[in-house]
Chains A and B, each alone.
Chain A
Amino acid sequence: MRLPAPATARRGMLVALLLLWELVPRTGLLPELFLPALSSTLAVLWQDRQIYSAALLVTLYEVALAMLIACGGGIAAGAVVGGIARLRELLLPVFSSLYAVPIVILYPVFTAWFGVGPESKIAFAGIYAFFPVMLSTAAGIRTIDPQFILAARSMGATLTQQVTRVIIPASLPTVFAGLRLGGALAIIGVVVSEMLTAAAGIGYLVTLNRTILDSPRVFAALLMILILSVAYYMLARAFESRMVVWQSAGRSPKAAQNESAGVPVSVAV
């Protein structure tokens, strides 16, 4: 027997999962309280679409600001720490020690400081996502092939030109990878903090409906978060592979196709 192609297998599993989600509660294998059928989940999602889209907007707003903090701060801090050897030796070990601390224990501090509104979520998720962005930016700058800089110097590049024309484009792949991770963590951070203490947002809808045992509405919120995170990840991936085709593309024929079609893949800085 031949096994189906991996991608086909994955699609098959997804379909099976969705079918089970519908059939298991319908046939009474599990009570609707534990697992409401997919159709009832979608039905309440449609019925309460105004509530859910308002909540989604709140969540997206918090995620966007958290990402701004994490990405802006992370890239700036990472560039400084990665670029200056002294600072790197001093701080990188400190950061990797601090990395062990579960940041979620700081969330009560943020609610005490900023209240239960969006500010505490933004602060928490911003910090939660800051570290990976910073660390990968630092790594991106540190791992640049020294030959690149040597070659630039031999061609007469000034220090500024070395930074803008070589160091920045060369570190982009790692920085993008950090941004992808940072964005995912910003979503996670916002959802977690909304679930813990909040008055709005999709995470809040999860918790609110859980306490009143309204399972279809819990699952509706859960489904939205799932779609949000997966969609973000796919978008980030697609964006990344377009921006830095040259990095991963050595093997992929798709990249070569893009290139020959004249898609501007080189990163203009």
Chain B
Amino acid sequence: MQHVAHLDETAIEVANLSHIYAGAQGTVPALEEISMRVGSGRFTVIVGPSGCGKTSLLMMLAGLRAQSQGTILCHGRPISDPDPKRVGVIFQEASLYPWLSALDNIEFPLSLRGARERETRQQRRARAEAMLRLVGLEGFGERFPYELSGGMKQRVSIARGLVQDPPVLLMDEPFAALDEQTRMTMGHELLRIWSTMLKTVVFITHSLTEAVYLADEVLVMSARPGRIIDRIAVNLPRPRTYEMMATDVFGQLRDRIWQQIRKTP
């Protein structure tokens, strides 16, 4: 059942990807010559100035938007349409459906597939409940999004992204709307979940601390048109602890990323 990751296997391979938006006031070159390789089971964080094209890149990795040029391979096969079995997406705003309970939200993607797959309603329910437990929300399944805190909503959202068990998880600033403390806890939780499920994660953030804390590798993008200007390997041991944030190594890594971002005009 569970996807077995080999760290030397390539999960995502992007080659010479460029994108130009055609707007009413002319064209906007958003991404330029992006090439990257994400190893299977690795945690990759993308940082870069606002408007540099991070969300655009993620959309293309998810098959939600077509790129102007270049190719994206996911486990060797090209991505052109959303494929929830290969790639799960978690957005900044939890974007839960307010008319569904937490559990129904998690079950939503399964109910979409329902017709195509032989899986009973009970089995689907059981899977959704397992996910709810995984994100630590047992007992909150019947609650509606408006009855959940921001952090809880984001947990539900993560559960929804994981429920189809895709090997790759894309996250676009998932914790940006949360307060500092909740954010730290959520990052920690995410690492716990990730370590048990061996997913490949591509994670976008503006927080340098978060980037270093979470990542195996940090990709730094330049201002628009976005290019990848640096790759920084984070070799801190896992499991990561809050104490690591106070170490010199952690500070140096954070500084290096900051220097890179600051250089970009």
Contact = CB atoms under 8 A, between A and B. Distances in A.
B98 interface: yes
B147 A157 contact: no
Given A249-B146, A266-B100, A147 B109 contact: no
Contact of A155 (B100, B108, B142, B143): B108
A150 B91 contact: yes
Q: Does more than half of chain A's interface fall in helix, strand or loop, or is it mixed?
A: helix
B89 A154 contact: yes
A260 B147 CA distance: 11
Interface size class of A (residues with CB under 8 A): 20 to 34
B146 A266 contact: no
B83 interface: yes
Contact of B147 (A150, A165, A259): A259
A246 B112 contact: no
Interface in B104-122: 104, 108-109, 112-113
A153 B83 CA distance: 9
Interface in B43-86: 62, 64, 82-85
Contacts, number: 72
Contact of B99 (A161, A244, A250): A244
A153 B82 contact: yes
B81 to A, nearest CB: 9
Contact of B112 (A165, A170, A249, A262): A165
B99 A267 contact: yes
Q: Does more than half of chain B's interface fall in helix, strand or loop, or is it mixed?
A: loop
Nearest to B145: A246
A259 B97 contact: no
Contacts of B147: 256, 259
B190 to A, nearest CB: 18
Interface in A135-163: 145, 147-148, 150-158, 161
A169 B145 CA distance: 15
Contact of B113 (A152, A156, A246, A267): A156
B104 A147 contact: no
Contacts of B89: 151, 154
B33 interface: no
Contact of A157 (B85, B88, B95, B112): B112
A260 B144 CA distance: 10
A96 interface: no
Interface centre among B62, B109, B113, by most chain A C-beta atoms within 10 angstroms, is B109
A175 to B, nearest CB: 13
A165 B98 CA distance: 12
Contact of A154 (B64, B144, B146): B64
24 contacts: A147-B91, A148-B95, A148-B97, A150-B64, A151-B89, A151-B91, A153-B64, A153-B82, A154-B62, A154-B64, A154-B82, A154-B89, A155-B84, A156-B112, A161-B112, A165-B112, A166-B97, A170-B99, A172-B99, A246-B145, A246-B146, A260-B142, A262-B142, A267-B99
Interface of A: 145, 147-148, 150-158, 161, 165-166, 169-170, 172, 244-247, 249-250, 256, 259-260, 262, 265-267
Interface of B: 62, 64, 82-85, 87-89, 91, 93, 95, 97-101, 104, 108-109, 112-113, 142-147, 160, 164
Given A150-B91, A153-B64, A155-B108, 17 more contacts: A151-B91, A151-B95, A153-B82, A154-B64, A154-B88, A156-B84, A161-B112, A165-B112, A170-B99, A172-B99, A246-B145, A249-B144, A249-B146, A250-B146, A259-B142, A259-B143, A266-B101
